[in-house]
Structure 1
Amino acid sequence: MNTRMRRAAVAVAAGAMAVSLAACGSAKESGDKADSSKSAAAKGDNIKVGLLLPENKTARYEKFDRPLIEKKIKELTNNKATIQYNNARQDASLQAQQVDTMITDKVDVLIVDAVDAKAIKNSVQKAVDAGIKVVAYDRLAEGPISAYTSFDNEEVGKTQGEALLTALGDKATKSSKIVMINGSVTDPNAAQFKKGAHAALDGKVTIAKEYDTKEWSPDNANSEMETAISAIGAKKIAGVYSANDGMAGGIITALKAAGVSVPVTGQDAELAGVQRIVTGDQYMSVYKPYAPEAEAAAAMAVALAKGESLDSIAKDKVSSGSATDVPSVLVPVQSLTKDNIKDTVIKDGVYTVADICTGKYKSACDKLGLK
Structure 2
Amino acid sequence: MRKSLLALVAAGLLTTVTLTACDDGTDPGDSGDSGSATTSNGGQSSGKAGIGVILPDTKSSQRWSQDDPKYLKAAFEAGKVPYQIENAEGDKEQFKRLADKMLDEGAKVLIIANLDSASGKAVIEDAHSRSVPVIDYDRLTLNGGADYYVSFDNERVGELQAQTLVSCLKQKKVDNPIVAELNGSPTDNNATLFKNGYDRILDQYYNDAEFTKGPDQYVPDWDNDEGREIFSQMLKQYPKIGGVLAANDGLGNAAIEVLREKKLNGKVPVTGQDATVQGLQNILAGDQCMTVYKEIKLEADAAAKLAINLYKNVKPPVDDKLKDPESGAYVPFVKLDPEPITVKNVKAVVESGFVTAKSLCTAKYKAACTRAGIK
How high is the TM-score relative to the length of structure 2? 0.82
The residue identity in structure 1 corresponding to 2:315 is: S
Q: Which has the higher helix share?
A: 1
The residue identity in structure 2 corresponding to 1:158 is: E
1:105-132 residue CA offsets vs partner (Å, 9 max, x unmatched)? 1100000000112332122111111121
Q: Distance in 2 between matches of 1:62 and 1:170?
A: 36
Give 1:323 deviation, angstroms.
6.7
SS of 2:118's partner is coil
Q: Which residues of 2 match residues 43-122 of structure 1 at below 5 A?
A: 43-45=28-30, 48-57=50-59, 58-76=61-79, 79=80, 81-122=81-122
**Which of 357, 362, 370 is 1:358 aligned to?**
362
Q: Distance in 2 between matches of 1:210 and 1:52?
A: 31
Q: 1:48 to 1:180 in 2, by over 3 A?
A: same
Match of 1:28 in 2: none
Match of 1:6 in 2: none
The residue identity in structure 2 corresponding to 1:239 is: G
Match of 2:347 in 1: 342
SS of 1:248's partner is helix
- Preserved CA contact (<8 Å) 1:225 1:255: no
The residue identity in structure 1 corresponding to 2:108 is: D
Q: Distance in 1 between matches of 2:157 and 2:283?
A: 18
Give 1:289 deviation, angstroms.
0.7
Match of 1:328 in 2: 333
Q: Distance in 1 between matches of 2:82 and 2:328?
A: 28
Give 1:172 deviation, angstroms.
7.2
Does 1:308 find its partner at 2:308?
A: no
How high is the TM-score relative to the length of structure 1? 0.83
Q: Distance in 1 between matches of 2:150 and 2:363?
A: 37
Give 1:327 deviation, angstroms.
1.7
Match of 1:9 in 2: none
SS of 1:209's partner is strand
Identity between Structure 1 and Structure 2 (%): 34
Match of 2:149 in 1: 148
- Preserved CA contact (<8 Å) 1:165 1:172: no
Q: 1:282 to 1:103 in 2, by over 3 A?
A: same
Q: Distance in 2 between matches of 1:172 and 1:305?
A: 55
The residue identity in structure 2 corresponding to 1:68 is: Y
1:220-264 residue CA offsets vs partner (Å, 9 max, x unmatched)? 11111111111111xx21110000001111110001112213100
- Preserved CA contact (<8 Å) 1:49 1:83: yes
Q: Distance in 2 between matches of 1:172 and 1:191?
A: 30
- Preserved CA contact (<8 Å) 2:183 2:195: yes
**Which of 242, 248, 251 is 2:252 aligned to?**
248
Give 1:42 deviation, angstroms.
5.7
- Preserved CA contact (<8 Å) 2:95 2:119: no
Match of 2:169 in 1: 168
The residue identity in structure 2 corresponding to 1:84 is: Q
The residue identity in structure 2 corresponding to 1:193 is: F
Q: Distance in 1 between matches of 2:286 and 2:74?
A: 35
SS of 2:117's partner is coil
- Preserved CA contact (<8 Å) 1:118 1:186: no
Give 1:174 deviation, angstroms.
8.2
Q: Distance in 2 between matches of 1:348 and 1:299?
A: 21
SS of 1:85's partner is strand
Q: Distance in 2 between matches of 1:165 and 1:87?
A: 37
Count of matched residue positions in the alignment of Structure 1 and Structure 2: 323
Q: 1:44 to 1:179 in 2, by over 3 A?
A: same
Match of 2:285 in 1: 279
Q: Distance in 1 between matches of 2:51 and 2:294?
A: 24
1:128-169 residue CA offsets vs partner (Å, 9 max, x unmatched)? 111211011000124231111000000000100000000011
1:271-326 residue CA offsets vs partner (Å, 9 max, x unmatched)? 11111111111111000011111111001111112221211xx2211122347232
Q: Distance in 2 between matches of 1:262 and 1:129?
A: 51
SS of 1:222's partner is helix
Where do 5+ consecutive residues of structure 1 fail to align?
1-40
Match of 1:212 in 2: 218
Give 1:364 deviation, angstroms.
1.8
Q: Distance in 2 between matches of 1:367 and 1:303?
A: 45
Structure showing greater radius of gyration is 1
Give 1:173 deviation, angstroms.
7.6
Q: Distance in 2 between matches of 1:220 and 1:159?
A: 25
Q: 1:66 to 1:170 in 2, by over 3 A?
A: closer
